[in-house]
Structure 1
């Protein structure tokens, strides 16, 4: 990794000068979120019943990633389908004996609202996880259980709530065993790591070094096994928090195509490749990470191999997420960018809302 420069100090004061809405505080609260989410799922009154069709998690962005992270944490322990749906409605062939978890932090995500309506029309059992909005209103009107999430955060900052919601719903519908003890262990691990990686940690703390390595370069994040969806989370957090283009891929698939693209990468831009390991992955996969990192390392301006943290899959997934979340905010600080507001996404939402309003007016 690159050495620290004089003007890139990352401490609490430096972060506070840029992070006006304290997004970093939400990252530091992830251990509490994991524990709190368990109580919130219990309080929702979801029936424990085998659903042979498994669990479909319908959600977009930071709300939808919880389903993919849950799938990685469950891994080969899945007893039925555990699938994340990103888009409007349900996939073809969605089974009536499935459970559909509609995840939207705001309760206003139009794709998730469409999935909620379609599942209801098909007679498929549903659960909503949200802070409110139209999703909560529709769910309560139709007697659908609602897992309430605390308001006041950015949707992407509620990742632990969405992950636990998906894991617990998977257990309740028989798609996976209960991983409650792993969730509790992950909360304890993240409490320790928050001290090691947070703004009060030393300047050589791992996420601070990774942020400096990525600064001024195009980030490409690779994951393997349980860290494959965590790599996607890193990418989207860099997109939103640091407001930079970034890319992600999973091994072994990337070895069959993307690896060749690195031959000409230097002609395009300076790239930085980060490889997220998984100690629980198959030995051949772990060996692939080592060989691929060595190959790519000779073709990019910077690269790093990052070990996994924790004994269980839930620990490894949540630690990889927290590490990337910290690194993305530190990268935003190095760029002098407030990690919370994203004007381009807000403009898109506004334009879509105007279109919907105009269409509604025409049908009245």
Structure 2
């Protein structure tokens, strides 16, 4: 697992090459797409989160709204003016295949991202735009391969500016930063012990980062986790904080800062830090790693992955195994 996390920059690099090749080979597909009003990403778990991360990366310049669907049914507004990304790393995710079949009944052109399975067979049969990913990754650690095809496709369709160079610069930045991020993660893990993490980000655009951290703590560290964002947290959950003294030995709060957050949210996060300190709740403010949004988003992903890994080791848990998820799939297969 450590090697998969550590080599995230190389995975981004390989994904860039694979994606550009696939787009070159299927230029005919992209030439037929026009008049896009909205973007829908269909995918579950470690696959679907690619759409969420793209939201964080493109929040300030995305020309069309993006919605990530993580369910069996699609919203009513899905139509021919919607650009669809259907993502399942394994190619066997039942919810995603169900969505694919719904869309194909309406004869809609689809962009499919997968490493194989039934979804790959269907996409090849229907001549969809298909991005075939390297195999033998846990889906949650294939994020680089799942995210880049969305970004470059949106770039080619002029829905976002060309981000090729930004991704290339991000890769170099992550290669320089990863050792430092790994060491920081080790130090933080010493503070956490067996507490429950509560991740708060200081902007809506970074909510997917908190969600990614939560999911990695769930799957790698095998621990419950919670997440929220400012300013929304200040309109509900904050009211429960005075009672956190009851949980001071149970909870560890991460306060993640976005370099582009509204200045009022910076005041809010300082207020929360003061409140947590008064109630003796262990917490850590994570300042922006970079003022470049691509650098910061991908660095926070890498940082959170490192924390989840070292925390799993500290708890004597194998971060790779996801036995309950596998058991659930076997159970569902009976029906």
TM range (shorter): over 0.9
1:266 equivalenced with 2:245 (yes/no): yes
- Aligned length, in residue pairs: 327
Residue segments in structure 2 that go unaligned for 5+ positions in a row:
none
Deviation for aligned residue 1:174: 3.8
Deviation for aligned residue 1:51: 4.0
1:24-83: CA deviations, max 9, x gaps? 111111101112212222222251543422321111111111101101110121111222
2: CA distance between counterparts of 1:298 and 1:179? Answer: 44
Deviation for aligned residue 1:255: 1.1
Which of 292, 303, 306 lines up with 1:326 in the alignment?
A: 306
SS of 1:47's equivalent? helix
2: CA distance between counterparts of 1:302 and 1:321? Answer: 22
The alignment yields a C-alpha RMSD, in angstroms, of 1.6
What is the aligned partner in structure 1 of residue 69 from structure 2?
85
Which of 34, 38, 47 lines up with 2:30 in the alignment?
A: 47
1:251 equivalenced with 2:235 (yes/no): no
SS of 1:129's equivalent? strand
SS of 1:32's equivalent? helix
What is the aligned partner in structure 2 of residue 210 from structure 1?
188
Deviation for aligned residue 1:213: 2.3
2: CA distance between counterparts of 1:173 and 1:119? Answer: 21
1:261-320: CA deviations, max 9, x gaps? 122233356211001111122222233222222223333531000012233222111111
What is the aligned partner in structure 2 of residue 353 from structure 1?
333
Deviation for aligned residue 1:91: 1.6
- After TM superposition, the structure 1 = structure 2 runs for residues 1-364 of structure 1, keeping only pairs within 5 Å, are 23-44=1-22, 45=26, 47=30, 49-198=33-182, 205-225=183-203, 226-268=205-247, 270-355=250-335
2: CA distance between counterparts of 1:50 and 1:187? Answer: 31
| Cα contact 2:41–2:86 (8 A) shared by 1 | yes
SS of 2:63's equivalent? coil
| Cα contact 2:244–2:281 (8 A) shared by 1 | no
1: CA distance between counterparts of 2:269 and 2:59? Answer: 19
Residue segments in structure 1 that go unaligned for 5+ positions in a row:
1-22, 199-204, 356-364
Higher relative contact order (CA 8 A, sep 6+): 1
2: CA distance between counterparts of 1:54 and 1:181? Answer: 25
| Cα contact 2:40–2:66 (8 A) shared by 1 | yes
Structure 1 residues 281 and 181: CA distance shift in structure 2, 3 A: farther
1:108-132: CA deviations, max 9, x gaps? 1111111111122223221111100
Give the TM-score of the pair, scaled to structure 2: 0.93
